[in-house]
Copies of this chain bind each other. A is one copy, B any other.
Amino acid sequence: MRARKPTLIEMCKAQGRRITGQRKIIAEVISSASDHPDVLELHRRAVLKDNRISLSTVYRTLKIFAEIGLIEQHSFEGGRFRVERASGSHHDHLIDTDSGKVIEFRSEEIERLQTEIALKLGFELTGHRLELYGRPLK
């Protein structure tokens, strides 16, 4: 039997946090999202499952999840913050400027170049942000 990846809630509990109904639901919404919803959208989806979840709680819960490293918050060009479950493996994003959809990708080549460039400029790379914006080819 293979070790299962712990759920958001399990990780949360492991941090000594209380497992509330609203946290369970917000975690569920995030886990089952295949897109990169923004906070308002998350709240909308959460309220569908339990209409007693306030927007502040969504904000607070996201902040906690982010601190523990369970999710990542991205701010793409000219929009609100958008959320995705941390996948463990790093990737960058291509944003479809027609639809707003987000496509994930990863390039070892680019990762390597970034470290190299930082080094050449006299810096130790601690993070980066790479976003491509494009229109689908016909």
Contact = CB atoms under 8 A, between A and B. Distances in A.
Q: How many copies of this chain? A: 2
Contact of A133 (B105, B110, B127, B132): B127
Nearest to A135: B124
B125 A132 contact: yes
Task: Assign chain A's interface to a size class.
Answer: 20 to 34
Given A94-B118, A129-B77, A129-B129, A123 B113 contact: no
A75 B78 CA distance: 9
A23 to B, nearest CB: 25
Given A123-B94, A126-B97, A130-B130, A117 B136 contact: no
5 contacts: A110-B113, A110-B117, A119-B137, A124-B135, A124-B137
